[in-house]
Each structure stands twice: as structure tokens, then as C-alpha cells.
Structure 1
Amino acid sequence: MRDQAAPGGGTEATSPRRLSTREAAERLGVKPETVYAYVSRGQLSSSRAPGGRGSTFDAAEIDALARRTGRRTPAPAPAPGDLVFRTGITLIEDDRYYFRGVDATELARRYAYEEVAEWLWTGELRPGIRFTAPAEALAAARRAVDALPAHSGSTDRLRVAVVAAATTDPLRFDLAREAVLAAAQSLVPTLVGALPMAAEAPSAAEGAPDASGAGLARQLWPKLTARPADEPSVAVLDTALALLIDHDLAASTLAARVAASAHAHPYAVVSAGLGVLEGPLHGAASGLAHRMLTEVLERGSAAPVVADHLRTGRRVPGLGHRLYTSEDPRARTLFALLAQMPQAAGALAAARDVVTTMARHAPLHANVDLALAVLSVSCAMPAEAGETVFAVSRTAGWIAHALEEYGERPLRMRPSGRYGGPRPPQPLPVPTGEPSR
């Protein structure tokens, strides 16, 4: 819990200097509406200005808040057309990324997914924390998922599971921080528990080890592959989950924040994120890389596979990232761990072959989709496994952004459309097939 400086900040007999809302915003480097958000959260006090127009703020109190938040200098103006939000969750800078200022790859290597999620949500590290699915929510989610057609994809199942879990939580509309955290800690394992077992994977009734009290990665493993879990492979999966929790304002995260801005409950926020994630340019990208690596292994070389992609105008998946000039740090971390798994040698070599072959055409580096594809191919997972890992992991990130957005001015994300249709007045349309009068 952060200490709060006492208002005023001095004992001078003279009245402390008062700032207008605009002056306070400029001194803090924020927008005026953010100043009022600080007031609503109890971080600032305000007084009505003489005449009742607007509010005034104690200059010393503003300065104390600026020192605590580090927001003394206004952020650089965004480029035209950019959408920029202040966030204290993820920073991407100099080809590295950080969760709350801590190197995200170091966190993922040292701590389990649940521990990293808690750090992102609360700023506190709780070693050994485990998330538990409530029995009622899990049962409802499983019934809903089991009712889907057999050809349904994993993201279809996750979307349905979120809705089903929400219906069992009568407190889902409580947006208090502790209530949202409790919902998040129960929702993530509910999503994993609702997924069907991988084909031919032993069920609990057939003697498979009970993973209900294990970490989330071990619970997810039999939903992705029929291969028995071994510690090195589960460790890679756990690291992948931790690495993917958040990545600044990706498309799905923006959707989640828009939902949170409307004060949608956390289940609805996750539903919004899942709806965007399913696009082929976002969460499904690793599936394309999986299929490409499979073809490279079948044909024995990346050259003909890359050539086919270029000849048909298709983008070579798993390469390049608009936020990094060199190799994606998430991919670099996973490749290092995959190199220690003997069964990953073939897929890893195929991935390196793709990167080397493509380098002759364009200086593109591996991204996390290619690393997820190496994991899924080498562990006999289906092509959509990477998307499943992505969706389950990113759920925690969407919740982190929802927690942040709930503290902002509601409905602040209301862009204006630039109308390009016919200018009014226009005549009433004539119904099709009906003669004009």
C-alpha cells in the first residue's frame, strides 16, 4: 500500500498556492480528466474555485503526487492518428519488454505463470500461488463446451466457457479491485479446465495424474497433447504462458480496454479480447507457422516452402515484429529453452532454416509465433495449440488492463467518425421492387 502525502505539504502561515485544473494537469503531465481521476481515487484533494467554476488544487500536493508517480514531464505528443494511453503495465523499449519495470523474460524464466500474473495485477510477487476453479463455474463451463460441435476450435470453446462461467458469478458486476482479482483468479483455471482432453490423452478415470492442484501449465498440458508431460516440456509451456501475458496495447488488449471503459465486468472484458484474438493476424498466427514448419520437416528444407509462400504472395509466418528491430525477446527466450529439449531438435532446426532462408530476401527475425510453433510441432500438439496458449495466457493481461481502465474516466474511448457518405438532404429510399409514386 502506497503512503499518501498529507495535503498542503507545509506549515507556512500564508495560504498555499492554488492551481487551476489546467495548471495541475500541465504540472503532472496528464490530461485534465486524469486529474479528476486522481481526486476520485483519493490521491488528490480539490476545492471549488471562487465563483463556483471549476476546481483548484494545492500546488505542493500536486508536486508531491508528481514525485510519487514520476509524471512530472509531459509525454511526447503522439504521431497523427496514433491512439496513446498511459499505462503502468508493460513497457517495450530497445528490443526488450518489461512488466511493471522488471524484465519480462527474466520474470518468465524464474517464476510460474500464476506468479507473474499476480505481479502484473498487484505489483506483489507471491511465490507458490495457485489459481483454483470454482466447482459451479467449472461444471457450467464444461457443459457449455461439451455442447459445441466437434469441429469447434479452442477459441470457440474458450469464448463459450467465459460466458458460462460469468452466469455462475452473481458478483461479476462488482468492479472493486478485490472482486475483480477474485474473478480473475477463478476464471483462468476455469477456462483451462473446460477444454477437452487432447485426443488419446488419458482421462482421470483412466489413471492420469490429478493436475487440479498443480500449476496452470501442468493443467493445460493434457489439453494440448496426448504425450505424457515431462518436466522440461512443461517448464517451456509455463514460460511461454508467462511471456505472453501482456504485450502493451495489442489489438485484443485495446478491445478489452474499450470494454472496461464502458465498465463491462471482467468476464465481458475477456470475451471482448477473445473476439479479436481469433483473427489470423493476431492469436491464430502461430497456427500458420506450425503448418509451415510441418511442411519444412516433410520436404527436408525451408527453401521450397519459403519459395512457395513468396510465389503465391503469402507472408512467411513467424517472422518480423513491428515493435522489435531484432529477434523478438519472447522467441529468443523460448528458443533457448527448446534447445534443451531433445525432441525439439528437428522443429528448432527447421525454424532456424526458415529464418536463414528468408534472410536472403528480407532482414526479418523470428517472432514468438515461430517459437510457439516449434513447441507445438515438437510436442505433437495440433496447429491451434499456440492460439490456445496465447488466449489462456493473455486473459491475465486483459484483466490487468481492465483493472487499470476501471480507474480512468468512463467511456473516454469515444472517437469521432469522419463521414464520407452522401450529403443530406437525400430523398427517402424506394423499396426494392416497388414502383416510385
Structure 2
Amino acid sequence: MTAEGDENYLTTAEVARRLQVKPETIYAYVSRGLLTSTRARGRRGSLFSATEVERLASRSVDHSGVVERIESQLTLLKDDELYYRGHSARFLATNWTVEQVATLLWIGQTPQPSTVGAVGAAARTRAVFGVEREGVQLARAAMEVAPEGARLTDRLRVAVAVLGAADPLRFDLSAPSVTAAAGRLIGTLVSALPGDYVDPAATLGARLWPKLSDQAPRPEVLDAALILLADHGLAVSTVAARVAASARANLYAVISAGLGALDGQYHGAAPTLAYEFLRRARQDPLKALSDRLRSGEPIPGFGHRIYQQRDPRADVLLRLLGDHPIVGTVAAIAERTPTFPNSDLAIAAIMHAYDFRPDAGDALFALARMIGWTAHALEEYAAPALRFRAMGIYTGQTT
């Protein structure tokens, strides 16, 4: 591209002064599509549109490096409430299907009312979270490669990688292809997990229930949990997924990136830690709390870095448990702490109430968050590629 005149263009040095960055950062902006480099006839060096430079200067960009703030239309956390595209997640969790919420997050389509479990809702669930027999067989075979005793999340990671390798169209990053692949992936993973088979026309929670518990199913509880855990803004696993999507990694690779970050002890493992704490608390809540306080460690499943007075997700899930004794255990602990139960403790309470397998919480979290990672990947695919690159500062030895 060639600049016809110089009056509306700036040199690299002028741009660097305007944005207060080094010249190398300007070239990084060009590679990420944030600035366009042009040439002037008879002059050496690059020129940049003054209008484009001013537009970049006004954006919420940290010019000390090359990492942007991430703008998103998906999730809002405000005043101890959680919203998906402007809809209360608490309301969605008890009035809409997982399919409808996934559609809302993925393409922004406002869900229409329906009764969970009705014929129409089941048909839509099947359409979004569909399964293919060959895919289920492949995923199940991949999961069985994991050693005995492997966690469900370990099996999920292996299956995602294998299903991605088997999808010849995985590099089609158009929105229809990505949403179709995401629905098929999630539906296939649920069907492939060890446990009894459930008709794919059932709700996702109903299909997941026998994979986690032998007790009489309460699919509405899992449906609500899947909705409430689907997204939570820019959690570390979501940032990892968006960075992968920025590099134009395919959906399976994006999900794998999210699963990798989710495996950290400070993120995806939180439900398991809450489960273990609640297991001790069921016998003696006061002793379990006392032992934890004595250790000086935070109380698993209580408090939150974002919420100040309550976690709306925990409110919904604990209410669904009704008068189950485990709710009394949670209340007994909460009465003696200055904090409040969070979603990790609510998931742990569900696990104890219905005798879920001990690693169920992490798997539930992972499957739910795949819905959100897909939504964030779709946003990232529509943004300039490779727009995340931190400015490294070398602190090693120099020659």
C-alpha cells in the first residue's frame, strides 16, 4: 500500500512518540492488524495513517506492552450478579435449557421460553448437542487409553485431542462450522463417558447424570449447573482459550488450551477441594472448620475474588437441593465464617447429596466451560489475529 501524500501520515518515530512505545512495538501492532504500514514514493521507511494512529491511541490498549484489554459482549459480573448477554444467569438456569443458553452465548440469539424436558426442547437439545455413533466410539476408545484411576477430566482431554485429529474440517473457523463442531463435541464427550446410556434427545443434564451418579436422576440440577458454570468472564482458562483462538487455532485446540489451564490447582481443581472439605464437615462441621482455620489456609468453597456478599450461582444450586441434610451442613459452616458459599461448594454439596463420583465436579466444570470457551473463540475469530503478545523483559545474564 502506498501513501499519496505525507500530511495525513506519521513516521514510525512519530507514532512511537504518540503512543509512548518503542518502535519494535509499532511493528508488533502491524503484525497483529492494529496498524497498517504504508510506503511513500521516494521515501524510506514506513508511514502510518494519523487517523488510524489516533483511533488506536484512544482504545483501551496497554501501550507499555502489546497486550490489549479484552472487550467482550458475553458475560457481565456486576453487583454480585452474573449475566449472559444481558440475561440474568440465575433466571436462565431455572427457566431455559442448556441448549438455549449455548445458542445465546454462541450466536446472540435470544432464547424463547419452553419447558425443560418438553418434546420441543428435547429436539433442540439433540440438534445442538448431537452425537455421531462413530465419534462416540472413537472418544470412548481414546478415554480407555488413559490408565486406570485417571480422572474424568484426563479422559476428556485425551478424547478432545483425538476427536480433533479425526475432524477433517476442523480448520473451518466460520461461525456455523464452529458452533456445529462445539455442539457435536460436547454431546459426544458426554455420551462417551463411562456409565449408562441415555437417549441423546434428553437434556444434556439427563445424559450426564448416569455418568456421575447411580442415584435417581434429577437432571434439572445438572442442567442448572451446566448453565451457571458455562462462563464467568475472563477466568484464566478462558484467557488461554482466547489466546489460542487469536492464533487461529481450531476449536478442538482452543478447548484443549482451556482444559490445560483448567487443570491448575487454583482453578478447575477447586470443586474437588471443596468436596473433600465438605466430606469432613459432614461428620463434624465445627471441627472441620476449626482444623482449616488452624492451618491458616482459606476455607475451600467459601468467598470469592469477584463477588462481595454472595455467589448467585451457589444461591441457585443450593436452593435446588431443598432441605437435604447437606444444606444444613453448609449453613452450619457459613454461620461461623465471615464469608459465603461459592459455586465450588455448591457443586460439592450436589456431589455429596447424590453420591457423585469424587472426580465429577472437575468434569462438570470442564464440560460446562466448553460452552463459554466456544463463545469466546467465536469472538476472537472475528478480531484481529495474533493480538496478544506480552512485552518480555530480559533479566538474564548479558555477554
Q: After TM superposition, give the deviation of residue 156 of structure 1 in Å.
A: 0.2
1:350 and 2:350 are equivalent in the alignment = no
Q: CA deviation at 1:82?
A: 9.4
> Does residue 1:397 correspond to 2:372, yes or no?
yes
- Return the alpha-carbon distance in structure 1 between the equivalents of residues 327 and 67 of structure 2: 37
Give 1:213's aligned amino acid. Answer: A
Give the one of 323, 327, 330 matched to 2:310.
327
1:225 is aligned to: 213
- Rounded Cα–Cα distance in structure 1 between residues aligned with 2:326 and 2:265: 22
Separation of aligned partners in 1, 2:9 and 2:82: 37
Residue 411 (structure 1) aligned to one of 361, 369, 386: 386
Q: Secondary structure at the match of 1:97?
A: strand
1:103 equivalent to 2:88? Answer: yes
For the residues of structure 1 that align with 2:273 and 2:63, how far apart are their CA atoms?
33
Alignment of 1:273-312 (within 5 A): 273-299=258-284, 302-312=285-295
Q: What's the counterpart of residue 171 of structure 1? A: 169
Structure 2 Cα separation of the partners of residues 375 and 79 of structure 1 = 45
Cα distance change, pair 37–105 in 1 and its aligned pair in 2 (3 A):
farther
Residue-by-residue CA offset, 1:121-154 (whole Å, 9 max, x unaligned) = 0011455221101222221111111222220001
* Number of the residue aligned with 2:134: 136
SS at match of 1:382: coil
Could you state the TM-score of these two structures normalised by the residue count of structure 2? 0.81
Measured at CA, do residues 78 and 38 of structure 1 come closer, stay the same or move farther in structure 2, by a change above 3 Å? closer
Classify 1:78/1:338 alpha carbon distance in 2 versus 1 (closer, same or farther; 3 Å). Answer: farther
Mapped partners of 2:306, 2:39: distance in 1: 45
- RMSD value, Cα: 3.3
Matches within 5 A, 1:24-423: 53-55=47-49, 84-125=69-110, 128=121, 129-130=124-125, 131-197=129-195, 203-204=196-197, 210-229=198-217, 233-299=218-284, 302-339=285-322, 342=323, 345-357=324-336, 359=337, 363-421=338-396, 423=397
8 A Cα contact 1:259 1:268, kept in partner: yes
1:152–1:364: structure 2 CA closer, same or farther, 3 Å change rule?
same
Report the CA distance shift for 1:420/1:80 in structure 2 as closer, same or farther (over 3 A): closer
Q: CA deviation at 1:177?
A: 1.3
The aligned length equals 360
Q: Is the 8 A contact 1:120 1:400 kept in 2?
A: yes
Structure 1 residues 103 and 219, CA, compared in 2 at 3 Å: closer, same or farther?
Answer: same
Assess, with a 3 A threshold, how the Cα gap between structure 1 residues 382 and 20 changes in structure 2: closer, same or farther: farther
Q: Which runs of 5+ in 2 are unaligned?
A: 1-7, 20-25, 113-120
Q: Return the alpha-carbon distance in structure 2 between the equivalents of residues 255 and 268 of structure 1.
A: 11
Q: Which has the higher contact order (CA 8 A, sep 6+)?
A: 2
Identity %: 39
- Output the amino acid matched with 1:347: I
Specify whether residues 314 and 56 from structure 1 end up closer, same or farther in structure 2 by C-alpha distance, changes over 3 A only: closer
Query: Quick check: which has more Rg, 1 or 2?
Result: 1
Matched letter for residue 266 of structure 1: L
Change beyond 3 A, Cα 1:318–1:82: farther
Q: Displacement, 1:228?
A: 2.3
Q: 1:235, CA displacement in angstroms?
A: 0.8
Provide the residue aligned with 1:8 in structure 2.
Answer: none
Residue 102 of structure 1: CA displacement? 1.6
Aligned partners of 1:49 and 1:56 also within 8 Å: no
Gaps of 5+ in 1: 1-18, 40-45, 59-65, 67-72, 198-202, 205-209, 426-437
Deviation larger for 406-415 or 128-137? 128-137
The answer to whether the 8 Å contact 1:262/1:411 transfers is yes
Question: Contact 2:254/2:377 (CA < 8 Å) preserved in 1?
Answer: yes
TM-score computed with the length of structure 1 as normaliser: 0.74
Give the conservation status (yes or no) of the 8 Å contact 1:33–1:409.
no
Q: 1:312 to 1:149 in 2, by over 3 A?
A: same
Q: What are the Cα deviations for residues 356-386 of structure 1, in whole angstroms up to 9, with x where unaligned? A: 12x2xxx211110011111110001122211
Over 3 Å counting, the alpha-carbon distance change for 1:97 and 1:20 in structure 2 is: farther
What one-letter code is carried by the residue in structure 2 that aligns with 1:286? Answer: P
SS of the residue 1:324 aligns to: coil
Q: Specify whether residues 86 and 382 from structure 1 end up closer, same or farther in structure 2 by C-alpha distance, changes over 3 A only.
A: same
Distance in 1, matches of 2:376 and 2:362, equals: 20
Alignment CA distance shift 1:149-1:76 (3 Å): closer
- Counterpart CA distance in 1 for 2:174 and 2:362 is 31
In structure 2, how many angstroms separate the alpha carbons of the residues matched to 1:279 and 1:366?
21
